[in-house]
Amino acid sequence: MSSEGPHETPDTIPLGSIPSGSNPRPVCFQCRKPEQRGATKYKRCSGCELALYCSKTCQREAWPTHKRVCVGKAPAGGTSAQRSQRIPDPVAARYGFKSTIALCQGVCTWAETHNYALTQICSVTAILEGGIDANLADNRVLLFQLTVGCNNEGDGNPSELFKLGAISICPQDVLDELEYDCRGWDEQRDALARPHARDPRFAGMIRTMFTVVGQNVSTTYHLPVFRLRSGASTATTDEARALLEDVREICAECIDHGAVLGPPDAYYPPWQARTRVLMQRGKRWDLCPLADNGAIFWDTVLGPVLAYRRPLQSGLSPREVFRKYYTVL
């Protein structure tokens, strides 16, 4: 597996925004046309202040659907009195968000924060569940079920907004059954694939969908998949499968603890993923390294938790699992 993996998680994440890496250019919520560099910037919905539109025509056409997820029920651009009477979506409010679309925004920000760990999970799952090449050829979709994390107040720590539930790979038909609007997916996939084009282990981008349990909301994403260092796209031995299962469990546990993994640093052994946490400074969240690059966390927190909740199949310690993952497979 490439130790570089996906693009680096930015050191600072703005509150309540989707970092640029998750979608290189803003996209109109109605026609899905990307904003052109140097052209007029897209306008935000005055209700939820999240949805972007390239024109008033697109905003009007989107309203019959958008009003179900916007903060209020008055048309976007209404009077100040109408806007002041808008109330939060009661279901989304249970999760600490003002609207359904704000909940979707929270999922995107959380996914961007944990991009590296999610990419490892994505690659490992594709390898274990039929192989990378077969999954890409069949345009299968990686599904993540999420539950609300320990910090569920929409403006809280982005790394702790959600916890991982079930993970599975499904046929593309699942999107048709959900009547999901896939416009713009190909453009998003191509844009997100460009940074990895020169990596010899990069195999492609897999469609990803996050669903929040208890909330009828799905958010789409694209994650890169990487072959193993040997060039293999499948696990051919029981030992390799056990090690990859352990990598997936370790990444999931780090995400659930709010620990942000990143590619190994040149200043540390090549087998040790960088481990950081988000700390709030004013209106921003900064990624701060843990002592000894997270060695204490891996040995005294992650190891015992996994031994109790998710015993590792390989019988190795978490750090030894990642050493083999980076240097042997």
How far apart (Å, rounded) are the C-alpha atoms in residues 128 and 120? 12
Q: What is the pLDDT of residues 227-259, one digit of tens each?
A: 998 899 999 899 999 999 999 999 999 999 899
Contacts of residue 222, defined as CB under 8 A and 6 or more positions apart, other chains included, come to 185, 188, 189, 192, 193, 205, 206, 207, 208
Cβ neighbours of residue 201 under 8 Å, at least 6 residues apart? 1, 2, 226, 227, 228, 229, 231
Q: Judge whether 47 and 63 are in contact, CB under 8 Å.
A: no
The predicted-structure confidence for 62-93, as pLDDT tens digits, reads as follows 888 777 667 654 444 444 434 433 445 666 67
Residue with tokens 């696990």: 235
Token pair listed for 125: 């799952």
Q: Compute the distance between CA of residue 224 and CA of residue 267 in angstroms, rounded to an integer.
A: 26
pLDDT at 243: 94
Q: Is 113 exposed, middle or buried (0-12, 13-18, 19+ CB in 10 A)?
A: buried
Residues of the chain with pLDDT under 50: 1-24, 73-87, 154
> Exposed, middle or buried: residue 219 (CB in 10 Å: 0-12, 13-18, 19+)?
buried
| CB neighbourhood size of 53 (10 A) | 22
pLDDT of residue 124: 96
- Cα–Cα dist 34/27, whole Å: 4
Evaluate whether 63 touches 123 at the Cβ level (below 8 Å): no
Task: Kindly state the tokens that stand for 242.
Answer: 């056990």
Q: Which residue has the tokens 């190909």?
A: 186
